[in-house]
Amino acid sequence: MQAPPALARPSTLQDLPPGLASEHPEVADLTALSAAGLPVGALVVVPSALEERFYRLNNLPALLEELFAAVDPADPDEDDVEEACPAAQALVRQHYMLDETIDDFYHATKGLPERLHVRRPHHDGRVAVRGRPALMALKQLYQSDWSYEAVWARLRLCRSIALEARPVLVHAVEEAPGGAGGDARVARTARAAEVLGVLCTLRLTSDGSIVGVRREGAPLPRAERG
């Protein structure tokens, strides 16, 4: 089997191919903060193309469509959706990633701390130990897209069970906002707002490294930007 193309391989933030640096707003913002000299922590991006490849190589789109054949996207019945979702999650769980993909994931994350946060951008996810537990956490994120709540939300919003592949971020577990280092948090948040031109909330590790960012509110006036 041919190795995954570069755009389908997990990469550290610093080694992201040009096509992935802006794949998601949070990825783009972390890249901008790093370029501006802020202390962005070690972070791996699992690109959406890897998820798309996993679905395509296992023929999952056709298999999932068959599972939800009884669901009318224009007028879905909650019972039909609820009945199909466990089988859909099992289908994703039972299919495997390629050995090359697994090796790439282990290689990309080997320099990260032992305890990792595996999450979608702008969302919380799962905390897992580096290695196989973190890989399983990645698969569990894919499975969670087929929970009743996730499928019902897509049906109500898009009138479709189809999902849009998204990247996954893997990094050290961050500290709660009320933890130690409050002064560093305030200073780094203010500097990040200057760089991005908008108020934001940061995810910081215990040593003050930035491992996540979310924009909040309207852009800052030009006079307040760095």
User: Each residue of 54-96: pLDDT tens digit?
Assistant: 999 999 999 999 999 999 999 999 999 999 999 999 999 999 9
**58: how many CB neighbours lie within 10 A of its CB?**
17
CA distance 15 to 28: 13
Instruction: State residue 1's pLDDT score.
Output: 42
Report the C-alpha gap between 36 and 225 in whole angstroms.
13
Full-model pTM: 0.91
> Any idea where the domains of the chain sit in the sequence?
6-224
How many Å apart are CA 54 and CA 41, to the nearest integer?
Answer: 28
What CATH architecture is 6-224?
Answer: 2-Layer Sandwich (3.30)
Answer yes or no: are the C-beta atoms of 34 and 27 closer than 8 Å. no
Q: How many CB atoms lie within 10 A of CB 38?
A: 17
Is there a contact between 178 and 7 (Cβ–Cβ < 8 Å)?
no
84 and 53 in contact (C-beta within 8 Å)?
Answer: no
pLDDT at residue 215 in the model: 95
Phi, psi of 130 (to 5 degrees): -55, 145
**Does residue 52 sit in helix, strand or coil?**
helix
Please provide the DSSP assignment of 167-216 as one string: -EEEEEPPPPTTSS-HHHHHHHHHHHHHHHTEEEEEEE-TTS-EEEEEEE
CB 115 within 8 A of CB 127: yes
pLDDT at 6 (0 to 100) = 64
Counting as low any pLDDT under 70, the low residues of the chain are 1-6, 177-181, 222-226
Q: Which residue has the tokens 């994703």?
A: 92
Rounded Cα gap, residues 86 and 79, in angstroms: 12
Query: Is the CA virtual torsion 79, 74, 151, 149 positive or negative?
Result: negative
| pLDDT the model gives residue 181 | 58
Cα angle, residue 88 at apex, residues 173 and 115 outer, rounded to 5°: 10
pLDDT computed for residue 112 by the predictor: 97
| Tokens describing residue 47 | 């690109």
